[in-house]
Amino acid sequence: RLRLHDGKLIKDRRYHLRTYPNCFVAKELTDWLIDHKEAPDRETGIRLMQKLMDHYIIHHVCDEHSDYKDAKLLYRFRKDDGTFPLSKDVKVFMRGQSLYEKLVSVEESILKVREENSVKYQRTFLGCEMIDWLVQEGEVENQKEAVELGRALLEHGIIQHVSNRHHFFDSDILYHFWTNFRRRRRLTELLNENSSRALSESPDSPFCLRKLNSDPGNTSFLSVQTTKEIKIVSAVRRSSITSLAGNSNPYFSTSPVLVFPPVAECNPKSVLKRPVTNEELLSPGAPYIKKTLTIVGDAVGWGFVVRGGRPCHIQAVDPGGPAAAAGMKVCQFVFSVNGMYVLHLDYQTISSLIMTGPRTLVMEVMEAIE
């Protein structure tokens, strides 16, 4: 989906005097799958897209076709129009992803390489450490909720006891993240995942348990970053992007947007008059004040663009969006996201935290005293 936004296959299209936001033409997408080696032929491409339809990931823009047809018909990702079903399984998976990203991005993380029964495991944690961390970071209200969350993560295959012998307990038992959230998968893998058993036993599955051998250079918990050409612009409305790109079209999309403009549009000139360092922001007597903003996302997101890094700043704000209503302004610096200190992070990491977090976003920002 992100690559299709980047390649402009997903865009607003007009048909019979009506504009359909953020959609793609089925025939064009099938061509794209073959051109980008995601499918060897049209038949496989159709099967892949049908798989996404069966799992409520894409649908026909008017829901007039239940099958994916390799024709000039308009389809859309449900993530782009707010109709993606957030089942309990999906919510637990997204919560696990959010916690994982938060844990790997902080210094002195509880995730460490540890050894048990002469076998080394990467990015492990003790059950009691996770409990304390969840409570300390405000992820849960108390110890009981922390244990319940840990059990839900284990039951959904997100974490696992290193030898798969125990459920989750508040003790010094060793666990690790079983799901590899950062491995980029190929679409054709979907055709082989007919059962959870086959999925978990596949040696190349992101859910496969991978152990470290004695070679310190071996990193068995594989992590493949998103390719460099994918520029992520998160938590934004199309109106913000069109204004940045110099587009005079007053049309505001009514669907959620994670857009990928060309490089010139994706990295506009910074709105900051000069670079600002973390030391300058946090120094005693600095001319900056901290504000807490609570932003309730609507069907199209939160309505702002984050840019820069260490610290990140607000590059653009949709004047009609939730962020503007909460008091967000251009040039504010992002201090924390949902209770997590983020001054040391880049905008891609902060965008990921926002997108995988709750709809109600709590941000602390710092702005210059006028």
The structural domain count of the chain equals 3
| Pair of tokens at residue 107 | 């210094």
Same domain, 115 and 56: no
Indicate the pLDDT class of residue 241, thresholds 50, 70 and 90.
very low
Helix (H) / strand (E) containing 120: strand 119-126
pTM: 0.43
- The residue whose two tokens read 């990928």 is 260
Instruction: Categorize the per-residue pLDDT at 10 as very low, low, confident or very high, splitting at 50, 70 and 90.
Output: very high
Interval 332-343 mean pLDDT: 91
pLDDT at residue 179 greater than cutoff 70: yes
Among the candidates 150, 177, 204, a domain finishes at 177
Look at residue 194 in the predicted model and tell me its pLDDT: 54
Q: What is the rounded CA–CA span in Å between residue 186 and residue 119?
A: 30
pLDDT of residue 123: 83
Kindly state whether residues 361 and 306 are assigned to the same domain: yes
Domain residues for 64?
Answer: 1-77
d(CA 173, CA 127): 6
The answer to whether residues 72 and 92 belong to one domain is no
Asked whether residue 211 is assigned to any structural domain, the reply reads: no
Residues 99 and 58 reside in one and the same domain: no
Per the domain annotation, does 328 fall within a domain? Answer: yes
Residues 344-365 have pLDDT tens digits of 888 888 988 888 888 889 999 9
pLDDT single digits (tens) 247-301: 333 223 333 333 333 333 344 678 898 999 988 998 888 899 999 999 988 767 8
Percent of the chain past pLDDT 90, that is, above it, reads 36
In this prediction, residue 42 has a pLDDT band, given cuts at 50, 70 and 90, of: very high
Q: Domain check: are 66 and 99 in the same one?
A: no
Contact 72, 30 (CB under 8 A): no
263, 332 Cβ separation under 8 angstroms: no
CATH assignment at residue 116 = 1.10.10.10
Residues 308 and 361 in one domain: yes
Q: Mean pLDDT throughout 312-341?
A: 90
Give domain status of residue 313, yes or no: yes
